[in-house]
Amino acid sequence: MNPSETRPDSTSAEQTAPASTSSRRQVLGKIGAGLFAATTGPALAQAQQTAAVRAPIQSVKRDPVTQYVRPPFRPQRQPWPALAGQMGPRPDHGETSYQGSGRLLGRKALITGGDSGIGRAAAIAYACEGADVAINYLSAEEADAREVVALIRAAGRKAVAIPGDLREKAFCVRLVSETARQQNTESILDLTTENFDWTMKTNIYATFWLTKAAVPLMQAGAVIITTASVQAYDPAANLLDYAQTKAAQVAFTKSLAKQLAPRGIRVNAVAPGPFWTPLQVCSNQKDEALAQFGAQTPLGRPGQPAELAALYVALASQETSYSTGQVFGGSGGAGFP
């Protein structure tokens, strides 16, 4: 989520800037492992969507059990933060399947972690729905980010790329965006203070800093969506620090929703279950755990990022105007939240 230095208005959507000189004056969006906000503005022209982006696969009835690849997955590891383009199988972010219908025309968003995973799926969907989109990512994820920028532009929308790491307050205030990290640690005895601090700053401090910077710039009708996790409700033994932060984000969402309701700003959360993203191949999972990733769900497989895109679109649109302080799940039938 990127608050601009001036309140967004009809003149704030400037020319698309290159990654090194991106403007911050045009977007309020999603905090990657964290948060999304969207602002309303004058209606924009209908997106010029390419056939590659608009392929009408959504209209086909499909069995959700076999719709996407199922475990076992081959052993694979990447150094953090990992690239979607090097995963096997490659995640589906909706590149060829999401079909937009203009539900977010006139909106502007910045999506942190927008190069891959759930953030990438949201970026593609928002562009297909008519929003101009800026994405934030780490410089090591440039290859994935370039693909997303190309997809946004192919949908006929303006794209802004803003690389950077937001574990520092000054950068959060300046750019209002963040990326995610999840590390498996079997025992609290092996969880270092450095890694604990990293997780807290990414998922709790950044969410606070980013929101505090963004709220003064948001108008009635804007939306904040925090990305929590089923870990907030059913924490795994090897994700002690990560699960704590996700539980904190749920409480943050519910409390903030009460604060901002009188201003006409809605705050909701999405709590995904196991999703096939780069987070999984750089999180120190054991090979046997990764091989069966998602197999424990009733659907017997992990979710693909594209399967959450429509939920983020709905929460950003006026269709859910009476929903605030809520947590919406996508966990393959596991029942959370």
SS3 content of the chain, % helix, strand, coil (to 5): 40, 10, 50
Which 3 state secondary structure label does DSSP give 31?
strand
Task: Using only the alpha carbons of the chain, give its radius of gyration.
Answer: 18
242 catalytic residue (yes or no)? yes
Residues making up the chain, counted from first to last: 337
Question: Do residues 104 and 124 touch, judged by C-beta distance below 8 A?
Answer: no
CA distance 191 to 111: 29
316 vs 141, 145, 302, CA distance in Å?
A: 26, 22, 24
Q: Identify the active-site residue in 98, 126, 205, 242.
A: 242
**Residue 38 forms beta bridges with which residues?**
109, 223
Residue 204 is classified by DSSP as: I
Q: What are phi and psi of 173, to 5 degrees?
A: -60, -35
* Contact (CB, 8 A) for 109 and 30: yes
Structure tokens at 212: 């505090």
Neighbour-count burial for 221-257, b at 16+ CB within 10 Å, e otherwise:
bbbbbbbbbbbbbebeebbbbbbbbbbbbbebbbebb
Report helix, strand or coil for 320.
helix
Q: Which residue has the tokens 């440039």?
A: 142
What residues contact residue 106 under an 8 Å CB cut-off, 6+ apart?
A: 40, 41, 42, 43, 44, 130, 131
Neighbours of 295 (CB within 10 A): 15
Q: Are 274 and 117 in contact (CB under 8 A)?
A: no
Residue 107 token pair: 């909106």
Report, as residue numbers or ranges, the catalytic residues.
242
